[in-house]
Amino acid sequence: MPCAFIRKGLAAVTAWSVACLWGLAAQAISIAEAPSAATPTQAGAPSMPTLRVTGMIEPGDADKLSAALRKIGALTPSKSGAPIAIVEFSSIGGSLPDGFEIGMLMRKSGVMAVVRKGDLCMSSCALAFLGGNVHAPSSVYPAECNLEIGGEVAFHNFFLNPNGLRESTVLDPVQSRLQGFTDARGGTAMLAKYAGFLGLPPNFVANLIGRPVESFQYVETVGQFLSFHVCPIGIDRPAIPIDVQARNVCSNSLGVSGRAEALIATPMVLAQAKLQLLQRLQENMQSSKSKGRLAAQLANGAVMRVKDEIDRLYEDLRAAGVALPEIVGPTFEVGSKESGAYEVKCYVSLSPDDPDNFDVALQGPRGFAEPSRVPPPNSRRLFLFDRDDVINPHR
């Protein structure tokens, strides 16, 4: 039995199977019901039906999974956007089109894919897995997260199956080359369409098809978790000083290239943080000649000397939509230094107890603004790490 097959019309394009490398026998996926609520969730949350999918992905397996989901009543998306079922993957790959179909099935149905510690999800399985990312906000980590630290998800380039080429063009070498080119182009088109459907980074397809077929890209670094919208199960706050965490939050919020080490985090006296931020805001408003009740209060020296008035004005401004950070703990002014002055500043406030509770605002030439990049709602703590940090090293 060949290592992998795909639909008629692309019979020579396959996802590179690890079974080919290891000499394993190819078997279609096996689907079994698993204990419900296998993903850790907040206390009292309703359990979700769970399916465990193992083995090679072959033609028809998307229909097989659809039937299994229908059986447990998990093909109608919830109105809240929360996941309605869990599919645990342990597969080394197989049919490329069926991997796409499985991913689209899960995305459209609101089904969450999970890879557990010790499991492998590679090749077409990894592509299917991305379709099971759920983006509904979660109040308690790690609800609605999908890659357990110690599980492995890996992508690689597809390749042309020589057996498929021989079967379709056995007597015509020229036609064989033309067919191979057509099949490769069709596989790339499917991959690009699927990546667009999932909202993957624009360079995802280029990076994938530019890799040797035997070279795998594992989901290891914080940057990869963020780019692929994958939420890790089993990470805590990074064991680094809180000012370094503030630098990382700023770097991730700005989306700047390079490590956050180039940034400087200056602590603000917590009792005076709101006053100092109001003073920064006042400077911006004066330079832009802003008017109105809140601007008048900012200019009122008596108001700016009374703590209760400062607190009230600060919250009024936040309620009015001014991008001031919520003060939840130690607060830092973060930026890069050039010519002795900060060019762009982040103001970052972090809770010392909850790694998912922090807030950040940017201050530029035009005043305060919300960051252009925001942390994933189901794992905000990822922003406390540097994007190059490896949090899930592959074995």
* Structure tokens that stand for 218 in this block: 């594992």
Instruction: Return the CATH fold of 13-218.
Output: 2-enoyl-CoA Hydratase; Chain A, domain 1 (3.90.226)
Listed in order, the ranges of the chain carrying CATH 3.90.226 are 13-218
What is the pLDDT averaged over residues 201-212? 78
User: In the chain, where do the E strands start and end?
Assistant: 13-15, 30-34, 50-54, 85-90, 111-114, 120-122, 147-148, 152-155, 158-160, 217-218, 232-233, 264-268, 331-338, 341-350, 358-364, 367-369
pLDDT on residue 110: 86
307-319 and 273-288 helices, crossing angle to 10°: 60
Burial of 44 (0-12, 13-18, 19+ CB in 10 A): exposed
Residue 311 contacts residue 274 (beta carbons within 8 Å): yes
pLDDT on residue 64: 94
Residues in the chain: 395
What is the pLDDT averaged over residues 29-34? 84
CA 255 to chain centre: 14
Q: Identify whether 83 is preceded by a cis peptide bond (ω within 30 of 0).
A: no
Q: How far apart are CA 370 and CA 127, in angstroms?
A: 33
pLDDT on residue 386: 93
pLDDT on residue 203: 83
Cα–Cα nearest to 37, from 25, 48, 27: 48
What is the pLDDT averaged over residues 26-32? 74
Q: Which residue is listed with tokens 């940034």? A: 263
Q: How far apart are the first and last CA of the chain?
A: 29
232-to-34, 50, 376, 377, 379 alpha-carbon distances in Å:
21, 18, 11, 12, 7
Sign of the four-CA dihedral 328, 332, 336, 338: positive
The larger pLDDT score, comparing residue 96 to residue 211, is at 96
Q: Mind listing the pLDDT tens digit for each residue in 298-308? A: 777 667 788 89
The pTM of this model reads: 0.81
117-to-41, 121, 153 alpha-carbon distances in Å:
17, 11, 11
96-100, 183-187, 327-331 — which is least confidently predicted? 183-187
Residue 310 contacts residue 303 (beta carbons within 8 Å): yes
pLDDT on residue 19: 35
Of 156-160, 191-195, 376-380, the range with the highest mean pLDDT is: 376-380
- SS in 3 state form for 258-308? CCHHHCEEEEECHHHHHHHHHHHHHHHHHHHCCCCHHHHHHHCCCHHHCHH
AA letter at 287: S
Q: Mind listing the pLDDT tens digit for each residue in 249-283? A: 999 998 876 667 788 999 999 999 999 999 888 88
pLDDT on residue 15: 43
Q: How far apart are CA 215 and CA 155, in angstroms?
A: 9
